[in-house]
Structure 1
């Protein structure tokens, strides 16, 4: 089977952007008839009509819109390749960051702050579970993964792990929900907002088991932004690091119980040793 001709694809992309064969031909410095031939050959290869003619304008068909989407990604990837491997390039690809879905948004913001406002500080941020993010890191679809757990040993991939910080986990809620005088009383009587599978969840379950209580869980949440919103709305007592609710605590709308839960959430940056790491990676890792 013949392969796709990327020369044809580049010409198609220009015509799709211009919406006019003559204008695209002028931009590409080729004759209109030659450009028309290139487009027809691509349509034959794809066995799809890519344009409908409406008056003097060329309008993308559904197949054309799909082809343009792929063409944009293909040529963007080519630009990314050149920028990555060129030691003196003035353009940088975005820093692709994967973050555990239960990771505090405030912590993520602190991590990314060195890049904010910079002309070359493009960022792509994706969230998900640890397994999905590490798989993307292995295929170089991500530059770094922010997580609360060290990757499991015994895998064929050797990850580089840097501990960035750690936060004490406490109980946080609107003042009217924290009138109980002990950890046990809070766990037995107050509605609780708890992250799903995480270091925090494990520590919370161990705490409840040690005290021999059956907590009243109002919400199992896999997104720290939602933990923050539910706590702010008075839905329950959040089991979380203070950084998650830093703004609300500072404003006094949420308070922290004076109890030591003996739970600590660590924050790690996981990378792959690479010959060509993203130039901005050290800027955020060394902060």
Structure 2
């Protein structure tokens, strides 16, 4: 294939998004036969099937899912461009595109980004949450202004960028009132053998927690691990296990989830970074975020 035919790619994308050839035909103002023929031709050109035909249903094949992922990004960006073209430029605030690693607690992400909203001329915030590797790939091709993460850029990714430390917070440990009432002894020994909810393997603080447990000769009983911090706290709320969260949001965690703090340690800290492609930060929103984080949010905690 010498060149990608974007018309055929668009037809494929519409079929996959619409859930079938007939519905895609309605949106494209084409007959189902025409759409079906175009998809078949596209598959012939590519040399592999994009759909698995199960009865009257079309399911994306393994190859189809890969193609759809790229097509979705291509045409979603095209739709965004069309919206920008259709809008009058006068008076429209500049965009601020920020990626937030899913390992960063959402309440901290909000508190980090909130200074941008308080600016005299606040930008239009476009926030994307996801895996750090995916967000850094978007940053590398300038689809993000910054990425908020709980670790600096991993060296094995080979992405050029700069990690600006926003601040760090000691860790607190929380449990439902019922579970806390069953714990015996002083902190941290009271966690020995107790049920524990751990952050997922992508969370930088996880390894620090496990090393700290070992150093303290405390062996909590892991009953689950979660990539989503909010889901982890929801399980903690109903007493499934003890969980850790940054001290900087301890009051908020207790109020929102109805749990109690059973102890804290400064030997384990969670760090937060703003990752950019520039060493010297110039974006007004990024400068506001970093200034407020260091001056207000994490002041006195490090």
Where 1:171 maps in the other structure, the secondary structure is: strand
Provide the residue aligned with 2:18 in structure 1: none
> 1:67-86 maps to which residues of 2 (within 5 A)?
72-76=79-83
TM-score by length of 2: 0.62
Correspondence for 1:227 among 196, 211, 232: 232
- Flag structure 2 segments of 5+ consecutive residues without an equivalent: 6-25, 39-71, 293-302
Provide the residue aligned with 1:182 in structure 2: 186
Conserved 8 A contact 1:165-1:268: yes
Provide the residue aligned with 1:121 in structure 2: 123
Provide the residue aligned with 1:29 in structure 2: none
Give deviations 1:23-46, integer Å, cap 9, x for gaps.
xxxxxxxxxxxxxxxxxxxxxxxx
**Length, aligned pairs only:** 230
Q: For the residues of structure 1 that align with 2:28 and 2:86, how far apart are their CA atoms?
A: 24
Q: For the residues of structure 2 that align with 1:224 and 1:231, how far apart are their CA atoms?
A: 10
Provide the residue aligned with 1:237 in structure 2: 242
How far the C-alpha of 1:70 sits from its partner, in A, is 7.1
Q: For the residues of structure 2 that align with 1:3 and 1:153, how far apart are their CA atoms?
A: 34
* CA spacing shift, 1:95–1:153, aligned 2, 3 Å: same
Conserved 8 A contact 1:144-1:269: yes
* CA spacing shift, 1:182–1:148, aligned 2, 3 Å: same
How far the C-alpha of 1:2 sits from its partner, in A, is 10
Q: For the residues of structure 1 that align with 2:159 and 2:258, how far apart are their CA atoms?
A: 45
> 1:41-56 maps to which residues of 2 (within 5 A)?
50-51=28-29
> 1:1-287 maps to which residues of 2 (within 5 A)?
50-51=28-29, 72-76=79-83, 90-116=91-117, 120-153=122-155, 157-178=159-180, 179-183=183-187, 185-197=189-201, 198-250=203-255, 253-260=258-265, 262-273=267-278, 278-287=283-292
Q: For the residues of structure 1 that align with 2:76 and 2:104, how far apart are their CA atoms?
A: 32
Q: For the residues of structure 1 that align with 2:264 and 2:276, how far apart are their CA atoms?
A: 35
How far the C-alpha of 1:78 sits from its partner, in A, is 5.9
Q: For the residues of structure 2 that align with 1:167 and 1:205, how far apart are their CA atoms?
A: 17
Q: For the residues of structure 1 that align with 2:205 and 2:77, how far apart are their CA atoms?
A: 41
Q: For the residues of structure 1 that align with 2:129 and 2:106, how far apart are their CA atoms?
A: 11
Conserved 8 A contact 1:99-1:128: yes
How far the C-alpha of 1:161 sits from its partner, in A, is 2.0
Larger Rg: 1
TM-score by length of 1: 0.65
**Bigger CA drift: 113-122 or 141-150?**
113-122
Give deviations 1:226-271, integer Å, cap 9, x for gaps.
1222222222111221345532424793221235361000111111
- Flag structure 1 segments of 5+ consecutive residues without an equivalent: 5-47, 53-60, 84-88
